[in-house]
């Protein structure tokens, strides 16, 4: 059977593309090499599925550091508010959490996946799982057919590539789409891990002194080798057996990757600010106030609850502070050194975990070669790209999935409408 549109990849972008194409009247085939559709969706948001983010568009784009400006056009077709209306229209009630993140009320990603699949089936989309694509065949100007690994040829007018990047490969995103894009004449920008834990060879990381310690509402900063700030992110973080993880560290990770490469260096300095809302002087004065309020208490007992205990114990050892010293006898210099380290806790980092361990892939099909209003290739008619295969990436917090749904819907709609015009 011939199809108007063939969509390769059954993740968020591919599912949304097949729904949009079918809703706009196309005969659609959705193929995926895995045995299940929506595998990445099912594990997203810690299994709760952060379907989008309810920020205004400019703020949303500011949270997409990888070519976010490109998203103005797809968002004009299908944006975060449209995504919310779409899911609520299918009966999934959503709730808003911190920083605009939108989740299903029942906290189950499986509900999101099954609801999308029901919609896909209801629209008459043909689904073929366990079906790997070998390549896409092109004429001089356009797409002509899809060739499967089993040797089968399927003729079509449009192909939407929604194969994902190279992150979380067990969900099926193993970079399949890049060679098909190159074959059509597209540039693949350098791939690198983003939203990925950061590694360090610091002795306290190696000996696991702080492993498992979470720090809340901190600021984390990446510095260049000359000591200039590259990027600061706020949020939570956790020390691990290999380095740093948690939201603030994940958001800083791409800047670590890029700076190590740009400055041709093996290590970079990062700093944790435990109290972003206070200046170093404020913290010094708070410490003095504690000492004055309870002068007879030991330094250690006086500072209980001031910062996480494991962090303080580590700092006392690092600064060789006598924790049993009576508060009124402790010098200003000691209190100042404590204030300084709470504001500027230094960590030398040397990289990140691999792209396979990353949540998101940086790099991909160059957006300069994609029509932003339709997601169609500028190289071949009838060839479309959407989702993480493109050189677009956001921070974690619903931004990448928003890009996937938006570019998927835009590509699906445009592919179907192009058929009508032909």
Q: State whether residue 402 is helix, strand or coil.
A: helix
Residues in the chain, total: 422
Determine the pLDDT at residue 420: 65
Residue 233 and residue 170 in one domain: no
CA distances from 271 to 274, 318, 352 (A): 10, 16, 16
Residue 396 binned pLDDT confidence (cut-offs 50, 70, 90): confident
Which strand (E) or helix (H) includes residue 28?
A: strand 28-31
Same domain, 326 and 416: no
pLDDT computed for residue 361 by the predictor:
96
Same domain, 152 and 291: no
**The two three-digit tokens of residue 328, written as one number:** 């009124």
The yes-or-no verdict on residue 170 having pLDDT over 90 is no
pLDDT band at 44 (very low <50, low <70, confident <90, very high): confident
Instruction: Supply 45's token pair.
Output: 């948001």
Q: Are residues 407 and 270 in the same domain?
A: no
**Whether 170 and 21 share a structural domain:** yes
Q: Using the predicted structure, report yes or no on whether residue 419 has a pLDDT greater than 90.
A: no
Same domain, 124 and 211: no
183 and 302 inside one domain: no
Domain of 370, in residue numbers: 3-191+362-421
Q: Once rounded to an integer, what is the mean pLDDT over residues 316-328?
A: 94
Instruction: Give yes or no: residues 244 and 311 share one domain.
Output: yes
Share of the chain above pLDDT 90, in %: 94
Residues 250 and 394 occupy one common structural domain:
no
Q: Are 246 and 176 part of one and the same domain?
A: no
Residues 300 and 391 in one domain: no
In this prediction the pTM is 0.93
For 207-250, write each residue's pLDDT tens digit. Answer: 999 999 999 999 999 999 999 999 999 999 999 999 999 999 99
Residue 59 parent element (H or E): helix 57-62
99 lies in the same domain as 139: yes
Q: What is the number of domains present in the chain?
A: 2
Q: Using the 3D structure, point to which of 353, 379, 400 is the last residue of a domain.
A: 353
Does the pLDDT of residue 296 top 70, yes or no?
Answer: yes
% of the chain at pLDDT higher than 70: 99
């Amino acid at each position: 059977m011939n199809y108007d549109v063939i969509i390769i990849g059954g993740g968020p972008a591919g599912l949304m593309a097949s729904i949009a194409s079918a809703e706009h009247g196309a005969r659609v085939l959705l193929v995926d090499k895995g045995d299940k559709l929506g595998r990445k969706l099912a594990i997203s948001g810690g299994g709760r599925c952060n379907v989008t983010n309810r920020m205004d568009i400019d703020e949303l784009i500011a949270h997409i550091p990888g070519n976010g400006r490109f998203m103005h056009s797809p968002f004009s077709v299908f944006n975060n508010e449209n995504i919310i209306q779409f899911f609520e229209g299918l009966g999934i009630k959503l709730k808003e959490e911190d920083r605009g993140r939108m989740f299903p009320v029942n906290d189950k990603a499986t509900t999101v996946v099954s609801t999308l699949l029901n919609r896909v089936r209801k629209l008459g989309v043909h689904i073929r799982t366990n079906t790997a694509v070998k390549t896409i065949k092109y004429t001089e100007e356009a797409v002509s057919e899809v060739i499967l690994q089993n040797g089968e040829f399927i003729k079509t007018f449009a192909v939407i590539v929604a194969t994902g990047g190279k992150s979380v490969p067990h969900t099926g995103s193993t970079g399949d789409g890049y060679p098909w894009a190159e074959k059509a004449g597209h540039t693949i920008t350098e791939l690198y891990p983003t939203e990925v834990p950061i590694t360090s060879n610091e002795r306290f990381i190696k000996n696991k002194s702080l492993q498992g310690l979470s720090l809340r509402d901190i600021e984390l900063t990446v510095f260049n080798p000359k000591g200039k700030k590259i990027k600061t992110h706020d949020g939570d973080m956790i020390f691990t057996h290999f380095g740093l993880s948690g939201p603030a560290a994940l958001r800083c990770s791409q800047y670590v990757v890029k700076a190590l490469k740009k400055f041709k260096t093996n290590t970079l300095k990062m700093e944790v600010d435990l109290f972003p809302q206070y200046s170093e002087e404020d913290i010094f004065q708070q410490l003095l106030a504690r000492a004055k309020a309870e002068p007879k208490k030991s330094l250690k007992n006086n500072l209980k609850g001031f910062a996480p205990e494991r962090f303080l114990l580590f700092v006392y050892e690092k600064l060789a502070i006598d924790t049993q010293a009576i508060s009124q006898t402790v010098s200003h210099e000691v209190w100042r050194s404590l204030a300084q380290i709470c504001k500027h806790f230094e960590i030398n980092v040397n990289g990140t975990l691999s792209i396979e361990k990353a949540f998101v892939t940086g790099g991909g099909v160059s957006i300069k070669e994609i029509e932003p209003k339709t997601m169609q290739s500028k190289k071949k008619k009838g060839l479309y790209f959407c989702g993480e295969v493109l050189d677009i990436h956001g921070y974690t917090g619903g931004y990448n999935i928003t890009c996937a749904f938006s570019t998927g819907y835009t590509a699906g709609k445009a592919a179907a409408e192009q058929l009508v015009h032909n």
